[in-house]
């Protein structure tokens, strides 16, 4: 085992928080939050396993649990983060927020019968729920998203007084408030449905794998594979963060977990703090486009477009690979420019030994990917991945205490046979196996430590779901207003008007909107807003359906790297102890593929495997993209095999641009000049020896 994997990073821990400022609770308050989080996780698991309620009730109770925990954990003001107990007024808000969801549970049939004609009680509950959701969102994700939602809400109330081109006919208070909370077009819309089903399960799945040691395994594999190469520490960061992205869809969370190990490692071996932070920020944000989880947006996209989840993943595979190829190439060139060495071989773990020791951790991920690509629903795949992870964690704790190898094999065979009974009788026998393993762990030495790990994973999963869940809930306000007023067609009409003269200008305008919105709001609500407004217009301009949605999704992600409000850069800066602005600008440079690939996919959908392309077309567009990335890296870093002059860097950038622009003969010119550039630098290298 490598010392680098096991050693603690003796750098000051990051105090950056992705979502709000949590209280530092102790005593009864801490126990109350833990109990609430366990109940939340238990509720979501029961929903996935048994689906006990109708869809609308499931969503309403999901939002109730969100508000229950948010008002207990997040203070109203920043200075409240030092509080160690929960004030009485936040306990009251917590209970109020929790109770409003039960209105749907008790009066679901009545609400359906009087749909469109709410009673006074209906309006009071809907108004109270809406206000509480706004306040909960403000505490967790900050002011930006509630303000954006408030502007749309104001448009719903007063839009009839605006100029005719953007005005609507006017709606009453009862219509707007009813739209927000009483039906399935507002707060309890598709984003909340996806949060209450797929997203929570996959967050829980990720936290279980993390607590089981998946982060340590990813770091060890990355160290073993590329640690000894030139610039090894940065390549470790790229690979480790990419692997982490397969189970965690939060880029900022990836920075704060993997970055605690990789950023100090890069600094120790010669990379500047700015470059180290930028590499980790870029690599971690790529987790949101890395299948299978993809920052949970993939689930919302599949539900919105009514397409198979595997279709979304298929479209994302090549762009995600190109994104990480770009980051890997950039760090390789930077290492060559600075003449950095790799990590000594004696400090790098053996890949095969690591896999032998922790191979079972990969089984749930493999099973998850298999199920997602073979027609199973994301909910079923997520539930089975979670249960399989639980069985493996509990079983490994017991198997470690069995001394005879033959008995250990028999033990695992018995567990596998029992768990496979789900094929015949569903989830109940698998849950029975888990209950039995929990009981056995209670009785063996060290087993209770494993149970505490699982309890912590359940609590952490519920806490991590708060930011995503409340963002999905409040963005329903925008969807509700757009649905009620039809306002989305106005902006779509503007994009269509621009697109009549230039598709590129329409794409550029959409990109700017995505990046500006992404500066203040998380990726998921950013995607929901822009896909509701801009993606339909792009579709009418001839952009394929999935490509149009991927376009707005990608630029929402890039906003977290783009200054001035670059959350991933700020998170990395808190570990690297460097300027967040400098890290943001450097990360934007490293992540150039994230800005270029969406445009290339619009002009040639084969890059996202859309439009039934031939393999020849796919290979050609991938080769062209790789060559463009190759040239852009040379231009950005100023190095290939030898340092590049400024004129050479400019030429490389121009040739890369020719390969991206889909105009007549630009491909031929770009490919020819690209090959000449490589040959010229190969000759320079030969002459310098």
**Could you report the per-residue pLDDT of 173-184, keeping only the tens digit for each?**
888 888 888 888
Of 218-222, 449-453, 626-630, which range is least confident? 218-222
Q: Which residues contact 663 (CB under 8 A, 6 or more apart)?
A: none
Using the predicted structure, report yes or no on whether residue 675 has a pLDDT greater than 70.
Answer: yes
Higher pLDDT, 684 or 331: 331
Of 135-144, 646-655, 658-667, which range is least confident? 658-667
Using the predicted structure, report yes or no on whether residue 69 has a pLDDT greater than 90.
Answer: yes
Q: Which residues contact 101 (CB under 8 A, 6 or more apart)?
A: 60, 61, 62, 63, 64, 65, 129
Using the predicted structure, report yes or no on whether residue 365 has a pLDDT greater than 80.
Answer: no
Q: Is the link from the previous residue into 515 a cis peptide, with omega within 30 of 0?
A: no
Instruction: Kindly report the average pLDDT of the chain as a whole number.
Output: 80
Using the predicted structure, report yes or no on whether residue 128 has a pLDDT greater than 90.
Answer: yes
CA distances from 179 to 176, 521, 531, 576, 653 (A): 5, 23, 20, 46, 50
Question: How much is the average pLDDT of 103-112?
Answer: 87
Residue 541 confidence (pLDDT): 77
CA distance 506 to 602: 12
How many of the other CB atoms lie within 10 Å of CB of 370? 11
Structural domain contains residue 169: no
- Residue 72 banded pLDDT, cuts 50, 70, 90: very high
Contact 615, 658 (CB under 8 A): no
Q: Which residues contact 687 (CB under 8 A, 6 or more apart)?
A: none
Q: Highest mean pLDDT: which of 5-19, 75-89, 116-130, 476-490?
A: 116-130
- Residue 203 banded pLDDT, cuts 50, 70, 90: confident
Which helix (H) or strand (E) segment is 117 a member of? none
Higher pLDDT, 238 or 619: 619
Range of the domain at 79: 27-155
Which of 316, 290, 275 is CA-nearest to residue 589?
A: 275
Higher pLDDT, 357 or 441: 441
Please give the full DSSP string across 481-494, using - where no structure is assigned. Answer: HHHHH-THHHHHHH
CA distance 111 to 129: 16
Residue 313 confidence (pLDDT): 83
Which of 181, 179, 176, 151 is CA-nearest to residue 166?
A: 151
Residue 249 confidence (pLDDT): 59
Question: How much is the average pLDDT of 347-369?
Answer: 76
CA distances from 645 to 196, 550, 628 (A): 55, 37, 19
**Could you report the per-residue pLDDT of 303-318, keeping only the tens digit for each?**
778 887 778 888 888 8
- Residue 10 banded pLDDT, cuts 50, 70, 90: very low
Question: How much is the average pLDDT of 481-500?
Answer: 69
- Residue 98 banded pLDDT, cuts 50, 70, 90: very high
**Could you report the per-residue pLDDT of 510-519, keeping only the tens digit for each?**
787 777 766 6
Residue 16 confidence (pLDDT): 47
Joined together, the tokens standing for residue 590 give 């490293």
Structural domain contains residue 74: yes
Joined together, the tokens standing for residue 625 give 């993209």
CA distance 240 to 682: 32
- Residue 288 banded pLDDT, cuts 50, 70, 90: confident
Domain tally, the chain: 1
- Residue 71 banded pLDDT, cuts 50, 70, 90: very high
**Could you report the per-residue pLDDT of 547-566, keeping only the tens digit for each?**
888 888 888 777 767 766 56
Using the predicted structure, report yes or no on whether residue 252 has a pLDDT greater than 70.
Answer: no
Q: Highest mean pLDDT: which of 241-255, 461-475, 517-531, 551-565?
A: 461-475
Q: Which residues contact 499 (CB under 8 A, 6 or more apart)?
A: 505, 506, 537, 538, 541
Using the predicted structure, report yes or no on whether residue 625 has a pLDDT greater than 90.
Answer: no
Question: How much is the average pLDDT of 601-609?
Answer: 84
Residue 495 confidence (pLDDT): 65
Share of the chain above pLDDT 90, in %: 8
Structural domain contains residue 641: no
Residue 492 confidence (pLDDT): 61
Structural domain contains residue 294: no
Which of 311, 375, 302 is CA-nearest to residue 609?
A: 311
Question: How much is the average pLDDT of 262-288?
Answer: 80
Count the alpha carbons within 13 Å of 128 in the hemisphere toward its beta carbon. 18
Residue 131 confidence (pLDDT): 92
Using the predicted structure, report yes or no on whether residue 359 has a pLDDT greater than 80.
Answer: no
Q: Which residue has the tokens 């949590």?
A: 22
Prediction pTM value: 0.76
CA distance 550 to 531: 9
**Could you report the per-residue pLDDT of 258-268, keeping only the tens digit for each?**
777 778 777 77
639: helix, coil or strand?
strand
Using the predicted structure, report yes or no on whether residue 162 has a pLDDT greater than 90.
Answer: no
- Residue 9 banded pLDDT, cuts 50, 70, 90: very low
Question: How much is the average pLDDT of 658-669?
Answer: 77
**Could you report the per-residue pLDDT of 392-447, keeping only the tens digit for each?**
888 888 877 777 777 777 877 787 777 777 766 777 788 888 888 888 888 887 77
Contact 661, 503 (CB under 8 A): no
Question: How much is the average pLDDT of 82-92?
Answer: 88
Structural domain contains residue 205: no
Structural domain contains residue 148: yes
Using the predicted structure, report yes or no on whether residue 325 has a pLDDT greater than 60.
Answer: yes
Joined together, the tokens standing for residue 60 give 């309403």
The four Cα atoms 286, 291, 294, 298 give a dihedral, to 10 degrees, of 140
CA distance 405 to 418: 20
Structural domain contains residue 1: no
- Residue 8 banded pLDDT, cuts 50, 70, 90: very low
- Residue 36 banded pLDDT, cuts 50, 70, 90: very high
Residue 659 confidence (pLDDT): 80
Please give the full DSSP string across 579-607, using - where no structure is assigned. Answer: -HHHHHHHHHHHTHHHHHHHHHHHH-GGG
Question: How much is the average pLDDT of 580-603?
Answer: 80
Structural domain contains residue 163: no
How many of the other CB atoms lie within 10 Å of CB of 652? 25
Radius of gyration, CA atoms only, the chain? 26
């Amino acid at each position: 085992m490598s010392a680098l994997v096991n050693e603690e990073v003796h750098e000051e821990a990051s105090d950056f928080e992705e979502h709000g400022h949590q209280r530092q609770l102790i005593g009864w308050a801490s126990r109350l939050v833990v109990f609430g989080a366990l109940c939340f996780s238990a509720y979501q698991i029961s929903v996935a396993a048994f689906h006990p309620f109708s869809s609308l009730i499931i969503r309403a109770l999901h939002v109730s649990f969100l508000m229950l925990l948010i008002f207990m954990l997040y203070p109203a003001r920043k200075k409240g983060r030092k509080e160690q107990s929960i004030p009485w007024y936040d306990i009251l808000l917590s209970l109020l927020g929790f109770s409003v969801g039960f209105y749907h549970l008790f009066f679901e049939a009545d609400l359906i019968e009087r749909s469109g004609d709410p009673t006074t009680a209906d309006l009071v509950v809907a108004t109270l729920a809406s206000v509480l959701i706004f306040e909960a969102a403000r505490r967790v994700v900050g002011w930006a998203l509630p303000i954006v939602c408030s502007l749309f809400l104001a448009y719903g109330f007063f839009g009839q007084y605006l100029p005719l081109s953007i005005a609507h006919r006017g709606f009453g208070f009862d219509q707007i408030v009813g739209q927000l909370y009483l039906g399935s077009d507002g707060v309890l819309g598709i984003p909340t449905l996806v949060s209450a089903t797929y997203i929570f399960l996959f967050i829980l799945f990720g936290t279980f794998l993390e607590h089981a040691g998946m982060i340590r395994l990813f770091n060890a594999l990355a160290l073993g594979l590329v640690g000894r190469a030139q610039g090894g520490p940065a390549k470790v960061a790229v690979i480790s963060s990419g692997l982490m992205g397969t189970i965690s869809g939060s880029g900022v969370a990836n920075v704060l977990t993997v970055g605690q190990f990789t950023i100090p490692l890069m600094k120790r071996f010669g990379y500047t703090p700015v470059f180290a932070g930028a590499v980790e920020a870029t690599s971690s944000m790529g987790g949101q486009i890395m299948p299978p989880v993809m920052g949970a947006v993939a689930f919302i996209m599949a539900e919105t477009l009514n397409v198979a989840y595997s279709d979304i993943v298929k479209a994302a595979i090549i762009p995600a690979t190109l994104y990480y190829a770009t980051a890997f190439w950039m760090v390789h060139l930077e290492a060559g420019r600075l003449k950095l060495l790799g990590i000594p071989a004696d400090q790098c773990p053996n890949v095969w030994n690591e896999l032998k020791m922790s191979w079972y951790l990969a089984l749930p991920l493999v099973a998850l990917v298999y199920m997602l690509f073979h027609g199973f629903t994301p909910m079923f795949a997520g539930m089975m991945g979670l249960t399989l992870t639980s069985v493996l964690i509990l079983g490994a704790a017991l198997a470690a205490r069995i001394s005879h190898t033959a008995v250990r094999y028999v033990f695992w065979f018995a567990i596998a046979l029992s768990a496979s009974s789900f094929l015949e009788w569903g989830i109940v026998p698998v849950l029975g196996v888990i209950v039995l393993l929990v009981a056995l762990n209670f009785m063996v030495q060290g087993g209770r430590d494993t149970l505490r790990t699982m309890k912590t994973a359940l609590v952490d999963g519920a806490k991590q779901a708060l930011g995503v869940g409340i963002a999905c809930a409040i963005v329903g306000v925008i969807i509700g207003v757009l649905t009620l007023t039809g306002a989305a067609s106005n902006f779509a009409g503007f994009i269509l008007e621009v697109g009549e003269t230039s598709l590129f200008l329409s794409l550029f305008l959409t990109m700017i909107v995505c990046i500006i919105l992404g500066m203040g709001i998380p990726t998921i609500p950013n995607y929901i807003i822009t896909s509701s407004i801009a993606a339909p217009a792009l579709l009418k301009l001839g952009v394929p359906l999935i490509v149009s949605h991927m376009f707005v999704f990608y630029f929402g992600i890039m906003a977290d790297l783009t200054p001035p409000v670059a959350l991933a850069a700020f998170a990395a800066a808190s570990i690297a102890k460097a300027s967040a602005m400098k890290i943001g600008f450097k990360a934007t440079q490293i992540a150039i593929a994230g800005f270029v690939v969406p445009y290339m996919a619009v002009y040639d959908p084969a890059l996202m495997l859309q439009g039934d392309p031939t393999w020849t077309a796919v290979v050609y567009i991938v080769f062209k993209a790789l060559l463009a990335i190759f040239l852009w890296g040379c231009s950005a870093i100023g190095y290939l095999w030898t340092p590049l002059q400024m004129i050479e860097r400019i030429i490389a950038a121009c040739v890369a641009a020719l390969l991206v622009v889909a105009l007549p003969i630009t491909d031929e010119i770009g490919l020819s000049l690209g090959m000449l550039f490589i040959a010229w630098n190969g000759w320079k290298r030969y002459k310098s020896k």
